[in-house]
Chain A
């Protein structure tokens, strides 16, 4: 690796310091991309189809569930569309060798699908997005993964979950969401943030609107803010026995549910939610081309970073191929690469394994990697070993949300109403 090039101590987004890279279509095909000097490249068509077949079978099995094909076309059409959409994207991922480009399409669609499905379900079940005191007492609040870090200390000391949901039964109960989170943590680590989090897709989408960023420099110290937020909310939640982040700071309340405005305090909370959503999820991602909520604020992301230590995959840089162009540092959506991490040949602990740096590296120096194995051995195999669980998780978790949204859209088109 070239060590002579001085780098700035800030994260600068975009293409300001990057070397020009060639168009992927113009590159020669080099098989798996394993051990080659080129960036991700196309596979042989037959091999790509063969490698896509397992996902075809798995998604058919998982999306249909035990009930088989539904007879009602309002359910059948969304199922077929989701199935084709999922498998087309996976095939393209395998065939073109590009990960982030196709992951992002599914990820953003999942987030939009989640918002449509969630709001429609709420309106159908409760008649409103606003959460009343009666809903709290009846345990009618769906649990989400963002609450997990705040629940652990109170659960250990009081054996109770500080959330107005249900332990078992009902929509998104606590035990089910914990089960999904444990599965995701074991297999993906913080990869959950790019392959499972139904909120992350919103800002991922907004961060892709502009071709070039307007704000390029973001001080590295800001990347430690999520850890500070994590410590603060965990301590305050434990002391007050209430989910502080959900009550005061969650930007995604804006597009899911929020407490009914019945007092000045709730009004202030609502203003906080909307402001944080507008700032961190919409405006800053557009201006910086980064996932600013995930990279600069999200305490769940900070917490999930530590789980990167307990799964099999990471992203590594081959120091012999790296030319120190810092393109990876500039494009990483969650500020997970800096000079020090590149020098070490890897990412920071906050890497979400989105694959953007792998796609963007002009020298093909960055690859998915199986921990414990030599960096230069079988990068193509390591990528496929990660893609199967990663994409199956995304497809199963997000597939239902996309199906749900398509169902609501079809319902609207056929009956004029999105809710029954």
Chain B
């Protein structure tokens, strides 16, 4: 019995060792396929803290469009108290952004404006006009070549105490 076990262990050991070379070859030859499969199976995305989050809606304007992302409050287990919302302005084909963009933003689509933002595209300076208590400040202005993006710091309304939530 012990002899059989020893032979079996040897057999599986050599089988696994022999499989190593085909695995290495398959890793590199099929790399694009594996990578695509891995991305699809796991369904993972880049953290919204880096990517800016998913697109909520796109607002077209004359010569450019505004992309409003979903607010980012992602935490490991539950949402964080503070986060941001990313806005991006993209010029239409063969045009450039206006020198000054002045826009009112409705984050949650409830018909009430949450803040106004004024961006000088020459100096990349942004000014914020908050209308809601959970809009804090301009976090970051990003020059993305032809495009500009702004991250506005927010407090999470779902993590505010009930008294603070009811304030206008």
Q: Do the two chains belong together in a single complex? A: yes
Using a CB–CB cutoff of 8 Å, the interface residues on chain A facing chain B are: 58, 62, 133-134, 136-139, 153-155, 157-168, 173-176, 178-180, 182-184, 186-188, 238-239, 241-242, 311-313, 370-374, 377, 382, 385-386, 388-389, 392-393, 396-397
Chain A CB within 8 A of B96 CB: no
With A373-B13, A393-B24, A396-B28 already in contact, 10 other A-B pairs whose C-beta atoms are closer than 8 Å? A58-B25, A137-B142, A163-B50, A168-B39, A173-B35, A174-B46, A175-B36, A176-B32, A188-B20, A312-B17
CA distance A139 to B27 in the complex (A): 25
B140 within 8 A of A: yes
Bound CA–CA A392/B6 (angstroms): 30
Contact of A388 with B10 at beta-carbon distance under 8 Å, contacts A139-B50, A176-B35 already known: no
What residues of B have a CB within 8 angstroms of the CB of A386 in the complex? 17, 20
Q: How far is the CA of A136 from the CA of B143 in the complex (A)?
A: 12
**Other-chain contact of B20, A159, A161, A162, A385 (Cβ < 8 Å):** A385
| Stretch of B58-66, B72-80, B108-116, B158-166 with 4 or more beta carbons under 8 angstroms from chain A | B72-80
Q: Is the CB of A176 within 8 A of B76?
A: no
| Beta-carbon contacts under 8 Å, B50-94 to A | 50-52, 74-77, 86
Q: How far is the CA of A72 from the CA of B118 in the complex (A)?
A: 52
* Closest beta carbon of chain B to A151's beta carbon, Å: 9
- Chain A nearest Cβ from B11, distance in angstroms: 8
> Which of B16, B35, B49 has a CB less than 8 Å from the CB of A312?
B16
Contact of A389 among B21, B31, B38 (CB under 8 A): B21
Interface contact tally, CB-CB below 8 A: 159
Cβ < 8 Å to A, chain B residues 116-156: 140, 142-145, 149
Which of A162, A180, A389, A392 makes the CB contact (< 8 A) with B47? A162
Please indicate the chain A residues that have their CB under 8 angstroms from the CB of B18 in the complex. 385
Q: Mark B1-26, 1 if CB is under 8 A from A, else 0.
A: 00000100110111011111101111
List B contacts of A158 (CB < 8 A). 47, 74, 76
Instruction: Please pick, from A160, A242, A370, A396, the residue contacting B46 in the complex, using a CB distance under 8 A.
Output: A160
Q: Which residue of A lies closest to B28 (CB)?
A: A396
CB pairs A–B below 8 angstroms (27 shown)? A62-B25, A134-B144, A137-B50, A160-B45, A161-B44, A162-B49, A165-B46, A168-B36, A176-B35, A179-B34, A179-B38, A180-B31, A182-B27, A183-B27, A187-B24, A241-B74, A312-B13, A312-B16, A312-B19, A370-B14, A371-B13, A372-B10, A372-B12, A373-B10, A385-B20, A389-B20, A393-B27
Are B75 and A241 touching (Cβ within 8 A)? yes
Measured between beta carbons, the chain B residues less than 8 angstroms from A312 are 13, 16-17, 19-20
Which residues of B are found within 8 Å of A182, using beta-carbon distances? 27, 34
Question: Contacts A374-B10, A385-B17 known; A167 to B45 CB distance under 8 Å?
Answer: yes
Could you tell me the distance between the alpha carbons of A19 and B27 in the complex, rounded to whole angstroms? 43
Q: What band does the interface of chain B fall in when counting residues whose beta carbon is under 8 Å from A?
A: 35 or more
Chain B at the A interface: mostly helix, strand, loop or mixed?
Answer: helix
The answer, among A157, A159, A161, for a CB contact under 8 Å with B77, is A157
Q: Counting CB contacts under 8 A, is B42 at the interface? A: yes
Q: Is the C-beta of B48 less than 8 angstroms from some C-beta in chain A?
A: yes
**Shortest Cβ gap from A257 to chain B (Å):** 15
Closest partner residue, chain B, to A66 (CB atom): B29
Given contacts A183-B26, A396-B28, contact A155 B13 (CB under 8 A): no
Bound Cα distance from A187 to B22, whole angstroms: 9
**B168 at the binding interface (Cβ < 8 Å):** no
- Measured CB to CB, the closest approach of chain B to A266, in angstroms, equals 14
Q: Is the CB of A186 within 8 A of B45?
A: no
Contact A160 B28 (CB under 8 A): no
Complex Cα spacing A371 to B17, Å: 8
Which residues in B have their C-beta under 8 angstroms from that of A180? 27-28, 31
Select which of A161, A168, A370 is within 8 A of B13 by beta carbon.
A370
Separation of A165 and B44 alpha carbons in the complex (Å)? 12
Measured between beta carbons, the chain B residues less than 8 angstroms from A62 are 25, 28-29
B21 touches A168 (CB 8 A): no
- B42: which A residues are within 8 A, CB to CB? 155, 159
